[in-house]
Chain A
Amino acid sequence: MMVNVKKNTISFRFFVILLTFSCFFSCKTNEYTNYKIEGKKIGITAEKGENSQIENYIAPFRANITKDLDNVLAFSPETLDKSKGKWQTSIGNLLAQVVLDLGTPIFEKREKKQIDFCLLNHGGIRAIIPQGNVTTRTAFEVMPFENSLIIVGLKGNKVKEMANYLITEKKPHPLSGIKIFVNKDNLNVNRIEINGKTVKDDVMYYIATSDYLSNGGDNMTFFKESEIKYDMDYKLRNMLIDYFKKVDSIPIITDEKIILE
């Protein structure tokens, strides 16, 4: 009995030492090591089905938007396409005209000034206006961006710089309210007319454009350099929607803004 007890105590002692030792070396209960990482990409497809709770939740929102977007606002007698035209396009002409027409009364009311002309960018037109019914969805497709109307003040000499930019760029950027007469052989700008009058270097002109361009987008540095800017807080897409609501039929505007002579 005595001997047995002694043996037990010894083995216990050994065991405790062993435990302490092994704890010290091989494990630390509160510390975890990251020993492996697995990473992958999971494509979102219909394979795993869809969550019906989410789908049912979206449905009324979708229905409401669809109804609103497909609401017929006007009719377009032709397809207006930004890819047709060297110096101007039918859709560009329309957009610049819309911005000029709807922007003018607001600028007049707020600042007691007249907008002289409008310049937008070709790249900002993102879709065609197909022949037939024009809907709110059409406006979203043509102008998906949240750009808004800015009026920039430029002196006549800067307007000439702008004209040179347009001729060098050779893109049919949307214009309205301005005529740029260009030598058809060497493409020099001969003369610029605004409101039927030749542009003078020291006269201030007010140009309707987008916030994107007014900040120098598409390398329109002449806009960026100007310190005279008025934010009209009016999204270009909303201008287009408001215009569609106002008219029954979309006008086809073909008068030339850049005239080679």
Chain B
Amino acid sequence: MKRRDFIQKTAASSTLLGLSNFSLNTILSPESKKITILHTNDVHSHIDPFPADHPRNPNMGGAARRAAIIENIRKEEENVLLLDAGDIFQGTPYFNYYGGELEFKLMSMMQYDLATMGNHDFDNGIDGFYSQLPHAKFDFVSANYDFKNTILDTIIKPYKIFKKEGIKIGVFGLGVELDGLVDKKLYKETIYNNPVEVAQDMARILKEEKKCDLVICLSHLGFKYKDDLEKPSDINLARKTKNIDLIIGGHSHTFLDKPVIEKNSDGKEVLINQVGCFGINLGRIDFYFSNDNTLKNKGKNIVVI
């Protein structure tokens, strides 16, 4: 071999080696990433903790305590998403006096990332909600409320995509049927579309078109309706759709002891969680990711405590 040849070959090989350097590292030690989802629902303006003599929830809840817990978790975890599944408004005089201003301000201070609208968030009318939005430094999503003929047109988007350390997380919102629950003069021209049908579409868009690694539904539909099993609920939503990884529920004030695992229409696991109401609990779901492809067909290890 001529010396020139040798130089060229080694150069080419080095380049190749350089290019594969990243791959080489990953073969030796696959990279792991962790996404921490924190969530609340139906806080209903409960800013102060329950009093010590409260018969049901003594000394529970409180915005300042919730903030301390969230702060602690943020110190330990890199990739935190803080979400709320609706009914932020109504339940204490804080709402009657300030119309939701304080609720939004405190959530902004706690660095909430996203919320969906519950039926009580219409309690001061769609205009009342709109007027408080400048106090919220986080967005709202709703995929099945069509706001095109209302003041919220283009303000509330169907979904939002977050990128944390290269992991794409798509979150969409779903709201409960307003007719019969909320006065028409409050929700005005908001159109309610079937949440299960909308969810199928949303999940497909987020998983297949937008290539999200994680698809989360923020639902204010309610966990399950025993008297009307066909009524859209989180359980129905989980069973009838695919491509959703996690449903964060609200509306029914359901205190789940731990997240519930359901099978979707593809036979794959969906996690549903709801943490009661009034800011008594915070839900936490950690998703572990790896680029080690040997894990790909092994299925998920789901640990609920």
Q: CB within 8 Å of B: which residues of A?
A: 2, 5-6, 8-9, 12-13, 15-16, 19, 22-23, 25-46, 48-55, 57-58, 61-62, 64-65, 68-69, 137, 140, 146, 211, 215, 231
Contact B60 A44 (CB under 8 A): yes
Contact B109 A2 (CB under 8 A): no
Which segment of B63-71, B144-152, B155-163 sits at the interface?
B63-71
Quick one: given A27-B30, A35-B301, A36-B301, are A57 and B290 in contact (CB under 8 Å)? Answer: no
> Which residues of A have CB within 8 Å of B185?
231
The residue from A29, A35, A43, A146 contacting B288, defined by CB atoms under 8 A apart: A35
Output the residue of A22, A39, A46 with the most chain B CB within 10 A.
A39
> Which residues of B have CB within 8 Å of A49?
65, 68
Contact B284 A44 (CB under 8 A): no
- Sample (14) of A-B pairs whose CB atoms are under 8 Å apart: A32-B290, A33-B292, A37-B300, A38-B305, A39-B303, A40-B304, A41-B281, A44-B282, A46-B59, A50-B67, A51-B65, A52-B64, A54-B110, A58-B47
| Chain B 47-84 near chain A by CB (<8 Å), digits 1 or 0 | 11100000000011111111111011000000000000
Contact B281 A42 (CB under 8 A): yes
Contact B167 A32 (CB under 8 A): yes
Contact B301 A44 (CB under 8 A): no
Quick one: given A57-B105, A57-B106, are A37 and B65 in contact (CB under 8 Å)? Answer: no
Measured CB to CB, the nearest residue on chain B to A56 is B64
CA distance A12 to B20 in the complex (A): 13
> Which residues of A have CB within 8 Å of B142?
none
A159 CB → nearest B CB, Å: 25
Contact B291 A31 (CB under 8 A): yes
B190 CB → nearest A CB, Å: 18
| Chain B 79-107 near chain A by CB (<8 Å), digits 1 or 0 | 00000000000100110111000100110
For window 256-300 of B, CB contacts with A under 8 Å fall at 256-259, 271, 273, 275, 279-296, 298, 300
Contact A50 B302 (CB under 8 A): no
Q: CB within 8 Å of A: which residues of B?
A: 1, 6, 9-10, 13, 16-17, 20, 22-24, 26-27, 30, 33, 47-49, 59-69, 71-72, 90, 93-94, 96-98, 102, 105-106, 109-110, 123, 166-167, 180, 183, 185, 213-214, 245, 256-259, 271, 273, 275, 279-296, 298, 300-305
Contact A8 B26 (CB under 8 A): no
Contact B300 A29 (CB under 8 A): no
The residue from B16, B105, B281 contacting A43, defined by CB atoms under 8 A apart: B281
> Which residues of A have CB within 8 Å of B49?
44, 46
B157 CB → nearest A CB, Å: 25
Measured CB to CB, the nearest residue on chain A to B98 is A61
CA distance A92 to B69 in the complex (A): 44
Contact A55 B64 (CB under 8 A): yes
Quick one: given A5-B1, A211-B183, are A34 and B214 in contact (CB under 8 Å)? Answer: yes
The residue from B167, B294, B303 contacting A26, defined by CB atoms under 8 A apart: B294
Contact B257 A41 (CB under 8 A): yes
Contact B97 A35 (CB under 8 A): no
The residue from A9, A26, A37, A53 contacting B109, defined by CB atoms under 8 A apart: A53
Contact A38 B285 (CB under 8 A): yes
Output the residue of A22, A45, A54, A65 with the most chain B CB within 10 A.
A54
CA distance A42 to B67 in the complex (A): 13
Contact B273 A26 (CB under 8 A): no
> Which residues of B have CB within 8 Å of A48?
65, 68-69, 72
Quick one: given A29-B23, A37-B288, A42-B283, are A50 and B68 in contact (CB under 8 Å)? Answer: yes
A116 CB → nearest B CB, Å: 24
Quick one: given A33-B292, A58-B102, A61-B94, are A2 and B1 in contact (CB under 8 Å)? Answer: yes
Contact B64 A37 (CB under 8 A): no
Contact A40 B305 (CB under 8 A): yes
A125 CB → nearest B CB, Å: 18
Contact B258 A8 (CB under 8 A): no
Contact A32 B33 (CB under 8 A): yes
> Which residues of B have CB within 8 Å of A69?
93
CA distance A40 to B73 in the complex (A): 13
CA distance A35 to B10 in the complex (A): 39
B101 CB → nearest A CB, Å: 9
Quick one: given A50-B64, A54-B106, are A41 and B258 in contact (CB under 8 Å)? Answer: yes
